[in-house]
Structure 1
Amino acid sequence: MASLQEIVAFLDAELRISEIPDYSGAVNGLQLENGGAVTKVAAAVDASLPVVEAAVAAGADLLVVHHGMFWQGMQPLTRAFYRKIKAAMDGGLAIYSAHLPLDVHPELGNNVLMLKALGFEVSGTFFDWKGVRLGLVAETDISRESLILKVSEVVGGSVHVCPGGPETVRKIGLVTGGAGSEVAICPKSGVDTFITGEGPHWSYPLAEELGVNLLYAGHYATETFGVKALAGRLARDFALEQVFIDRPTGL
């Protein structure tokens, strides 16, 4: 058994929650507390009602997520939102969320772990947002088709590809999640191939115009790495049981 207060203090410091800016709906940090004790940590990408119910059913008393409960902004405690909060509170489930702080973490982050899973070393960063470098760069010499196969294997699914760039990939830029709309930054950074989760429709024709390969590997699929690693770290450092709640969206 571990103290929720000690775990939260560790997470806040390790992820630099107070230092890294984020979107207003992220509300990074502890979003819901419990009675103060933790024996089992669950990890998930989204703090949805089915995930909360599954975490409680699994006997978890701490849920660590990438997308927290407040992405839709302020809302009344009614209907599904009420049921979610009630399910968590009745089950003694605390909820902790980390969005961009987890994406950019040098060891536990979605970006670095996905890049390593692909077999590449980090050679630099790109995509500055409010003073934080959100993306990672890797130098390589690989065919576009071979890279597509690697990405598909790592995310365990299909990859939607805009083959707008060279057939031989020299410089990869990677930002997990929904960063496709940022494809315009790639040529400025010398990136010829951009790997992300998803993007708006217009990001595809824009990538073609810019001469960039754009690989949409799935928003959900590219953001499972960090929460799994974070739960593993908590399990190790605080002697906790752990479980991953897999709730893919297909997006």
Structure 2
Amino acid sequence: MHRDELVKWLNNYLRISDYRDVSNNGLQVEGKDEVTRVAVAVDASLRTIEEAVDAGADILITHHGLFWGKPVMVTGPMKKRIQKALEGELSIYAMHIPLDAHPEVGNNVMLARALNLRDLQPFGDWAGKSIGFWGELPFELELQDFSDRIQKTTGEICLVHGGGSGIVKKVGVISGSASDSIHLAAEMGLDTFVTGEPKHQNFHDAFEYGVNVIYAGHYETETFGVRALAAKLEDTFGLPWQFIHLPTGL
């Protein structure tokens, strides 16, 4: 498949122009003209790029790309990343908020499904657009039991702020770093909110708004989208793929 054809399809499917984003979403590094194998990952680190090249990938699709709005000097680690990609003729494609929000393969909808939430509805806000999802469990769970389910699903030891009831039924999900959305969960009457990492300034919100908040890891909550997107590419275009798993512990 030609690289430009794949990029056009990704841009349209992910609707990257619909979202205001600090990430420069889309093709960030141009590699080979033809794409026969895909690598996907959460972060576009040097090690990720090296492993993608070693795996024989022609394009690396990441959630966190190389460029974030403002100009950056191609020196130090950035030089090494780009140099390795160019030497390996590896294209790098990034999609940040568009992947979080996508209703079919996004981080949030895929995590919500993995947690067995039903009747999913949009939730949360990013520049006027909903990017998360909320739903209901088929039956009530104790907070600790639900936290254990998340840990088994993501592989991450969860941090639990039990600000609400010890019973979980209505749950909102926004991956990554979304602790500033705790008040939205409270406003919607959710008893539990799942996100990735905590922020100090939002520590008290769970307890003051009366909502359980489960922090399941920024990295681990954002592995779902890239894998689902890769599976979509295989189903649609027959492209084999590999997930490069480099957890940060954060």
Match of 2:2, as an amino acid? S
2:193 match: secondary structure: strand
TM-score of the pair, normalised by structure 2 = 0.95
1:72 Cα deviation after fit: 8.0
Which deviates the most, 227-236 or 88-97? 227-236
Aligned length: 248
Supply the RMSD in Å over aligned alpha carbons. 1.3
Structure 2 partner of 1:247: 246
Q: Deviations over 1:203-231 (max 9, x none)?
A: 22221111110100000000000001111
In 1, the alpha carbon distance for the partners of 2:134 and 2:151 equals 19
Q: Structure 2, unaligned stretches of length 5 or more?
A: none
Is the CA contact (8 Å cut-off) linking 2:32 and 2:58 kept in structure 1? no
Structure 2 partner of 1:155: 154
* 1:178 corresponds to 2:172: no
**Cα 1:38–1:123 shift into 2, 3 Å:** closer
Structure 1 partner of 2:142: 143
Is the CA contact (8 Å cut-off) linking 2:132 and 2:173 kept in structure 1? yes
2:130 match: secondary structure: strand
In 2, the alpha carbon distance for the partners of 1:116 and 1:154 equals 11
Is the CA contact (8 Å cut-off) linking 1:41 and 1:235 kept in structure 2? no
Is the CA contact (8 Å cut-off) linking 2:117 and 2:171 kept in structure 1? no
TM-score of the pair, normalised by structure 1 = 0.95
Q: Deviations over 1:112-144 (max 9, x none)?
A: 111111111243222222221122111232221
Is the CA contact (8 Å cut-off) linking 1:124 and 1:137 kept in structure 2? yes
- Identical columns (%): 43
Q: Deviations over 1:142-164 (max 9, x none)?
A: 22122111111110121000011
Is the CA contact (8 Å cut-off) linking 2:162 and 2:211 kept in structure 1? yes
State how 1:22-101 maps to structure 2 within 5 Å: 22=21, 24=22, 26-71=23-68, 73-101=70-98
Match of 1:193, as an amino acid? T
Match of 2:18, as an amino acid? E
1:132 match: secondary structure: coil
Detail structure 1 runs of 4+ shifted over 4 Å in the superposition. none
Match of 2:136, as an amino acid? E
Match of 1:144, as an amino acid? L
* 1:133 corresponds to 2:168: no
